Amino acid sequence: MPEHQFLVPRRVRAATMTRIDKLIAAMTLEEKIGQLNMVAAGLTVTGPVLAADVTKDIRAGRIGSLLNVWGAPEVHALQKIAREETRLGIPLLIANDVLHGHRTIFPIPLGEAAAFDPFLWQRSAAEAAAEAAADGVAMTFAPMIDIARDPRWGRIAESPGEDPWVGARFAEAKVRGFQGAGLHEGLADVKALAATAKHFCAYGAPLAGLDYASTDVSERLLREVYLPPFAAAVAAGCAAIMPAFNDVAGIPMTVHIPLLGNWLRRDLGFAGVIVSDYNAIAELLRHGVAGDLVEAAAAALLAGVDIDMMSGAYKEGLPVALARGLVSVELVDAAVRRVLTLKERLGLFDKPFGRGSMSGAAAPGRAERRAFARELACRAIVVLKNDRILPLSPNLRHITLIGPLADVPAEMLGPWAMAGNADVAVTIREGLAAALPKATIEFALGVGITGTDVSGIAVARECCRDAELVVLCLGEAANMSGEAASRANPGLPGAQVMLADAIFDLGKPVALVLCSGRPLMIAAAAEKASAVVAAWFLGVEAGHAVADVLTGKFNPTGRLPVTWPRDIGQVPIFFSMRQPGRPAAPDDHYTSKYLDMPVEPLFYFGHGRSYGRLALSNLRADKSDFKSGDQLTIEVDVSNEGPVFGEETVFLFARDPVASVARPLLELKGVGKSALRPGEGGTVRFDLAAHELSFPGSDWKPVLEPGEFLLFAGTSADPKQLLSIKLRALPD
């Protein structure tokens, strides 16, 4: 059987012909290829190829789906052409990048990940879906579930961070939220969107952190780190998958038969739609694996890519590829069937105008959504350092706010906020002013986000003269992270370091608030600041949320979903590293360390401070010996020893200290939370199936090797504070 044969489902007999069978039987080749053709409709540009007037091609049946269009009137006008003016009346599929909210912009995914809360992740997806669907959208290119361990790569902002276990939970929650879990009609509900898990795969590991660059990851790394979130998305019923722009060891993902065909389609049984990334099929020519659009189109179809986004390669190339016998019409039909099946599952044949019932801006529940955006933004904030200056004293009368990120609404939204409206975003200045009506808040810009003009620094210093405390808002512009936004030196850009030093020199307490789409290299500033707060890009409620955390109205709960390096030279740095034969030892020269800086990160994965003191004790398991089919219960006690209500996040890690393949020092196996009043105690419980302690063996099947296992619980991956117990796996 040729490798691509599993792409073609068995033929159906005429007597049982479904709506889709009948349509396929009636379609011309041009109409079939039209269903595989996705084109941008002109509202916004997210790639190098520009959108054109699409109405003529829709009318001729040459376009099956559109991206970058929203708004009920716009979408319905296009849908009307498809339904009423084409030969077969097949509805259009309208897709958009709904990454972190649609009109109501939520925190960027990296920030949202810091909440470590699948219920919130699911809810924000459901809210975004309802809003986008009210705007006529039926599909989102999300969740983005690329594991990212390199802050040079700007798309780390869109990702759930460094860990595959978190990535998998994030993937499931997002798929459920977008696709209408709990809604009466599921995916067909007019509040649901088809989810697209992207970018498949290893896109987060580009060489040198350069966007779109090659990745060269081992099969073990793929199996242990990059594939699990996609497996989780598929298991949760994800409707679509987008192959990444990059090649993996020389094979561009758009034509990667071993991963797309064999792993995803055959092994996982993924029967949904595979949609190429923007212009990616045509870019196969630049990758040097296709000589022309005909070869490119044939290779992508053979790998199982159903929809060609924006390259026109299917339109131009597939007719010739068919004539040359490079692909069969059965393969085209199978791709068309998957696209039509998705349209049917979305309810588009029966209710083509169901979504877009009203403008997304006016969609019901807007006030509640806004309140939710504030809660989510609060939970995304990570207090990295606090030398007891936070929460701000209610008696403060004079605060000075300095910095280029303090008062720019558009920068609060972050990358991928296409339908967002900067006019309704709350800045940090506005948020603080609302939260502290009795305090005088002076403001000076100091310097721009980028640029070399330092003439405002003197004014900023002057402005701080009477201040009891300075809130310094520094960081990146929103467009400095996201796609095509790699930074070789992801520190504070422009003259911000100079500004910071000039302010620190005044000797006043400084709370440094960082806006960024990635961990920034700020070791020196973090040392000098009395408090450091990671505020990512928090969305429309950014300013209120930052004020809620700074004033203590919200006791911070955010924890780092990614290790925060001291310096870019430490990258890649992540908690699940393997131990070398010569682990770092300060007094031993020939060990694994740097001559010029510590090996430890600035802040560990999971790090984050709250106002208060919660302590962990008494880690225990219900069995000390177990077999592979067993279920384990792990518990750890938490007590609130501080004066305020607080919530702790507890991480459960495992290590298999002796195995046939060296295992990471720590692997995340669970996350729990405990919210306690002062003086109160509680218990966090983890249900752990023993098979979750297995790893991919030599045949890549999971293996649980008998012997000792270590389990750890802690409030971060910092090894110094982990509690541990030993268990033993017995032979089955």
Catalytic positions, written as ranges: 277
Quick one: 171 or 327, whose CB is closer to ligand BGC?
Answer: 171
Q: Are 161 and 562 in contact (CB under 8 A)?
A: yes
Looking at 34, 47, 352, 672, which residue binds ligand BGC (CB under 6 A)?
47
Question: Does residue 46 belong to the site contacting ligand BGC (CB under 6 A)?
Answer: yes
Q: Which residues contact 348 (CB under 8 A, 6 or more apart)?
A: 91, 92, 93, 138
Measured CA to CA, the distance from residue 105 to residue 121 in angstroms comes to: 14
Measured CA to CA, the distance from residue 414 to residue 395 in angstroms comes to: 33
Q: How far is Cα of residue 55 from the mean position of the Cα atoms in its chain?
A: 33
Question: Does residue 483 belong to the site contacting ligand BGC (CB under 6 A)?
Answer: yes
Token pair, residue 600, equals 């430890």
Quick one: 47 or 490, whose CB is closer to ligand BGC?
Answer: 47
Query: Site mask, ligand BGC, residues 48-67, x = CB under 6 A?
Result: -------------------x
Quick one: 67 or 510, whose CB is closer to ligand BGC?
Answer: 67
Dihedral (CA of 259, 262, 265, 268) sign: negative
Token pair, residue 665, equals 């020092």
| Terminal alpha carbon distance of the chain | 37
Q: Strand ranges (DSSP E) for 319-409?
A: 382-386, 398-402
From 358, 377, 477, 269, select the one nearest 70 (Cα to Cα): 358
Burial readout 75-104 (b: 16 or more C-beta within 10 A, e: otherwise): bbebbebbbeebeeebbbbbbbbbbbbbbb
Measured CA to CA, the distance from residue 203 to residue 245 in angstroms comes to: 7
Q: Considering the complex, what minimum distance in angstroms separates the CB of residue 139 from ligand BGC?
A: 10
Quick one: 44 or 579, whose CB is closer to ligand BGC?
Answer: 44
Residue 465 DSSP code: T
- How many binding residues for ligand BGC (CB under 6 A)? 9
From 177, 183, 362, 339, select the one nearest 272 (Cα to Cα): 339
Question: Does residue 141 belong to the site contacting ligand BGC (CB under 6 A)?
Answer: yes
Looking at 62, 198, 429, 663, which residue binds ligand BGC (CB under 6 A)?
198
Looking at 31, 74, 97, 135, which residue binds ligand BGC (CB under 6 A)?
97
From 67, 80, 58, select the one nearest 38 (Cα to Cα): 67
Measured CA to CA, the distance from residue 524 to residue 299 in angstroms comes to: 50
Token pair, residue 576, equals 């699940």
Quick one: 277 or 430, whose CB is closer to ligand BGC?
Answer: 277
From 401, 638, 402, 677, select the one nearest 555 (Cα to Cα): 677
Looking at 170, 278, 536, 537, which residue binds ligand BGC (CB under 6 A)?
278
Q: Considering the complex, what minimum distance in angstroms separates the CB of residue 242 from ligand BGC?
A: 6
Looking at 163, 277, 295, 548, which residue binds ligand BGC (CB under 6 A)?
277
Q: Which residues contact 634 (CB under 8 A, 6 or more apart)?
A: 619, 620, 621, 622, 652, 670, 685, 686, 688, 711, 713
Quick one: 295 or 483, whose CB is closer to ligand BGC?
Answer: 483
Q: Considering the complex, what minimum distance in angstroms separates the CB of residue 297 from ligand BGC?
A: 19
Q: Are 432 and 399 in contact (CB under 8 A)?
A: yes
The per-residue DSSP string of 622-680 comes to S-SEE-TT-EEEEEEEEEE-SSS-EEEEEEEEEE-SS-SSPPBS-EEEEEEEEEE-TT-
Instruction: Give residues in contact with ligand BGC (CB under 6 A).
Output: 46-47, 67, 97, 141, 198, 277-278, 483
